[in-house]
């Protein structure tokens, strides 16, 4: 299993970070190079491995970075119509959720700089790897892995910031570090090149010692996602279809919840994931790149209710709850509602004719969870944004440790903070992306087959061509299933941007009581280039929308 433990960060030479790959969650062997220079470093296979590992590090940081709970995950998810953010917390987060952010927003700036940190490290690997005497096959694999990570960074920048500086070589002079923004369509072209090279050079599977590192399947999934985002539906469909047959063996796992806990990690649904484990100081996660930084997953701390030890920053919208309840399961089923709802949300089930359950090792009833949530819930104004009258009380359970059997398990001060991996590309998403692509190409029958695989696991009846007779009805079902299946997985906002014009999205947000709907403008479809970057790089200009 991939593990990266950061030891040294020296900004004065190209390799900014030295880290170790590990084969198990209990792998803890580390080295501590001290002030290694560039001429000393690029000598061995171990040097290259450490350098490639350093590219992963900023992306999988437990709190910071695009997939870090405290910065990226909460901000990107807050923009959708499925969660409400409590005011009175971090101003930068609240401003993004309300569409009142400006170029000075520190959260967006952190995302921007973190992604470029990984890009810088990737370019260093690609520039220097030929200096190292390693077998050609291994060299090509390292290059493909590095290009996948660089492509992932630029895909994330393009989808969030639009036009951004495109830097694919190492700077030779100080002035080389500063370049103007490249049009977003050209950034996506580079993303496609990087993912294509990664697809062709990465292994299809990893041995147990390397689980968690990128594979060709991950590259194919993100290449298909890039084609989908750029509306090249023919290539998106053809690319994503590669993952539906040999040599790939992806499939949906029977238990939806196994994608989000530590019970069944590295399962057949996981296409790409950030790996976490019980190493470092779990109680000091803020210094994310130091020798003793915690390698735990802090999503439960972000989401969990107060009674479970969490910070409790989000609550599901009425719209999400209503979407889950639109369709009941067939008569005689073991649950009344969509099976995914029982892991995604927590609520008082007796209000709906089902037996109540408890969480956190039987220490918390729903009434107790809700009582601990009241202080934050009452901050949401106007009150009409959230139905808090029984039976309209719901909380988020997905990604929390409510299942763990441990009291207060969402608190990182707990004796057992989460070590669950964060799967950021699942086969379920591949199916739904493929469904969208083939539907846009006119193949509604195949789209319905893809959607029915998702519905079947959720315990819902299959849809037929009579149920979904045209593109509009198929796309509505895809939108519905993506909302429920991928809730809080950083997809909803990007889907809404692709499917709605700004004016139509504003109307939708108003209808479903999305907080900040009145402030949404076309410019909010992207983040502005951060002020700190504009002040540093005199060749860059702010995006015209801003």
The number of CA neighbours under 13 Å toward the Cβ of 386 is 22
> Contact 432/225 with Cβ under 8 angstroms?
no
Residues 6+ apart with CB under 8 A from 433: 224, 225, 228, 236, 240
Same domain for 59 and 192 = yes
Does 393 map to a domain? yes
* Angle separating helix axes 427-440 and 444-457, nearest 10 degrees: 160
Burial of 441 (0-12, 13-18, 19+ CB in 10 A): middle
Which of these, 198, 200, 246, lies nearest to 222 by C-alpha position? 198
Three-class DSSP category at 317: coil
The number of C-alpha atoms within 13 Å of 81 and in the hemisphere containing its C-beta is 25
Q: In this structure, what token pair is assigned to residue 521?
A: 């403008």
8 in any annotated domain: no
Q: Which of 1, 7, 56, 10 is nearest to 289 (CA)?
A: 7
Question: For residue 523, what pLDDT is reported?
Answer: 98
Structure tokens at 66: 């695009």
User: What pLDDT score was predicted for residue 36?
Assistant: 58
Dihedral-angle region of residue 459 (phi above 0 means left; psi in -120 to 50 means alpha; beta otherwise): left
| pLDDT tens for each residue of 290-313 | 778 888 999 999 999 999 999 999
In a domain, 291, yes or no: no
What is the full per-residue pLDDT of the chain (546 aa) written as tens digits?
Answer: 343 322 222 222 333 333 333 334 432 233 444 445 667 799 999 999 999 999 999 998 888 889 988 888 999 999 999 999 998 778 999 999 999 999 999 999 999 999 999 999 999 999 999 999 999 999 999 999 999 999 999 999 999 999 999 999 988 877 778 899 999 999 999 999 999 999 999 999 999 999 999 999 999 999 999 999 999 999 999 999 999 999 999 999 999 999 999 999 999 999 999 999 888 888 877 766 777 888 899 999 999 999 999 999 999 999 999 999 999 999 999 999 999 999 999 999 999 999 999 999 999 999 999 999 999 998 887 888 988 888 889 999 999 999 988 999 999 887 778 999 999 999 999 999 999 999 999 999 999 999 999 999 999 999 999 999 999 999 999 999 999 999 999 999 999 999 999 999 999 999 999 999 999 999 999 999 999 999 999 999 999 999
At residue 190, the pLDDT reads 98
Tokens of 94: 């609240």
Q: For residue 407, count CB atoms less than 10 angstroms from its CB and return exposed for 0-12, middle for 13-18, buried for 19 or more.
A: middle
**In-domain check, residue 153:** yes
Structural domain span for residue 58: 44-202
Tokens of 6: 């950061």
User: Is there a single domain that holds both residue 188 and residue 334?
Assistant: no
Residue 354: Cβ within 10 Å count: 14
Show which of 402, 418, 434 is a domain's final residue: 418
Name residues whose C-beta falls within 8 Å of residue 382's C-beta, 6 or more positions apart in sequence: none
Q: Which residues pair with 8 in a beta bridge?
A: 18
**What is the bridge-based pairing of β-strands 345-347 and 394-396?**
antiparallel
E strand or H helix that includes residue 75: helix 74-78
Task: Report residue 331 as tokens.
Answer: 């008569």
Residue 435: inside a domain: no
Q: Let me know whether 50 and 195 are in one domain.
A: yes
User: Do 48 and 175 belong to one domain?
Assistant: yes
For residues 198 and 320, state if they share a domain.
Answer: no
Does 454 reside within a domain? no
Tell me what pLDDT residue 288 has: 65
- Looking at the fold, whether 56 and 197 belong to one and the same domain comes out as yes
**Does residue 507 fall inside a structural domain?**
no
pLDDT in tens, 513-529: 999 999 999 999 999 99
In a shared domain, residues 196 and 302: no
| Boundary (domain end) residue, out of 363, 386, 418 | 418
If one counts the domains in the chain, the total is 2
On whether both 193 and 311 belong to a single domain, the answer is no
Residues 198 and 57 in one domain: yes
Q: Which of 185, 202, 219 is the last residue of a domain?
A: 202
CA-nearest of 66, 80, 178 to 112 is 66
Q: Both 57 and 172 in a single domain?
A: yes
Q: Yes or no: say if 296 and 276 are a contact pair by the CB < 8 Å rule.
A: yes
CATH assignment at residue 152? 1.25.40.390
Are 160 and 527 in contact, with CB atoms under 8 Å apart? yes
For CA atoms 521, 522, 525, 530, give the dihedral sign: negative
The answer to the question of residue 18 being in a domain is no
Tokens of 400: 């929390």
Report which secondary-structure segment, H or E, holds 18: strand 17-18
Q: Which tens digit of pLDDT belongs to each residue from 143-177?
A: 999 999 999 999 999 999 999 999 999 888 777 78
Distance of CA 416 to the CA centre of its chain: 23
Identify the CA nearest to 302 among candidates 424, 421, 411, 422: 411
Q: DSSP characters for 485-534?
A: HTTTSS-HHHHHHHHS-HHHHHHHHHHTT-TTGGG--GGGGSPPPPHHHH
0.85 exceeded by pTM: yes
pLDDT for position 389: 85
């Amino acid at each position: 299993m991939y593990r990266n433990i950061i030891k040294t960060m020296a900004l004065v030479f190209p390799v900014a970070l030295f880290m170790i790959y590990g084969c198990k969650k209990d792998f803890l062997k580390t080295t501590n190079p001290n002030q290694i220079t560039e001429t000393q470093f690029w000598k061995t296979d171990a040097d290259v491995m450490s350098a490639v590992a350093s590219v992963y590090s900023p992306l999988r940081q437990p709190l910071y970075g695009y997939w870090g709970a405290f910065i990226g995950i909460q901000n990107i998810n807050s923009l959708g119509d499925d969660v409400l953010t409590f005011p009175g917390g971090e101003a930068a987060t609240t401003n993004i959720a309300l569409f009142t952010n400006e170029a000075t927003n520190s959260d967006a700036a952190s995302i921007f700089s973190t992604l470029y940190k990984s890009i810088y490290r990737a370019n260093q690997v690609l520039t220097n790897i030929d200096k190292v005497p390693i077998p050609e096959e291994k060299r090509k694999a390292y290059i493909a892995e590095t290009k996948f990570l660089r492509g992932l960074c630029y895909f994330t920048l393009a989808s969030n910031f639009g036009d951004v500086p495109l830097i694919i070589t190492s700077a030779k002079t100080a002035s080389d570090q500063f370049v103007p923004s490249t049009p977003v369509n050209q950034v996506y072209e580079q993303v496609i090149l990087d993912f294509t090279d990664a697809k062709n050079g990465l292994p299809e599977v990893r041995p147990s010692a390397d689980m968690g590192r990128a594979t060709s399947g991950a590259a194919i999934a993100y290449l298909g996602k890039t084609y989908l985002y750029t509306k090249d539906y023919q290539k998106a469909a053809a690319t994503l279809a590669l993952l539906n047959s040999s040599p790939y063996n992806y499939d949906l796992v029977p238990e939806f919840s196994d994608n989000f806990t530590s019970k069944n990690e590295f399962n057949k649904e996981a296409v790409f994931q950030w790996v976490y484990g019980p190493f470092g100081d779990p109680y000091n996660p803020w210094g994310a790149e130091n020798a003793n930084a915690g390698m735990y997953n802090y999503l439960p701390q972000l989401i969990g209710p107060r009674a479970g030890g969490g910070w409790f920053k989000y609550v599901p919208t009425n719209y999400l709850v209503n979407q889950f309840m639109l369709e009941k399961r067939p008569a005689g089923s073991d649950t009344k509602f969509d099976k995914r709802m029982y892991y995604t949300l927590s609520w008082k089930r007796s209000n709906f004719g089902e037996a109540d359950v408890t969480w956190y090792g039987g220490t918390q009833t729903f009434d107790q969870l809700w009582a601990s949530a009241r202080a934050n819930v009452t901050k949401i104004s106007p009150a009409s944004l959230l139905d808090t009258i029984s039976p309209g009380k719901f909380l988020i359970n997905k990604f929390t440790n409510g299942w763990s059997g441990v009291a207060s398990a969402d608190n990182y001060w707990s004796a057992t903070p989460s070590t669950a991996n964060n799967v950021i590309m699942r086969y379920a998403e591949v199916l739904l992306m493929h469904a969208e692509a083939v539907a846009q190409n006119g193949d509604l029958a195949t789209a319905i087959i893809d959607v029915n695989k998702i519905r079947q696991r959720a315990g819902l009846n299959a849809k037929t061509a009579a149920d979904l007779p045209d593109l509009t009805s198929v796309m509505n079902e895809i939108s519905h299933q993506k909302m429920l299946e991928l809730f809080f997985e950083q997809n909803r906002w990007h889907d809404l941007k692709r499917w709605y014009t700004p004016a139509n999205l504003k109307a939708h947000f108003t209808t479903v009581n999305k907080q900040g709907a009145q402030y949404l403008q076309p410019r909010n479809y992207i983040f502005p280039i951060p002020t700190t970057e504009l002040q540093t790089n005199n060749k860059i200009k702010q995006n015209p929308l801003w």
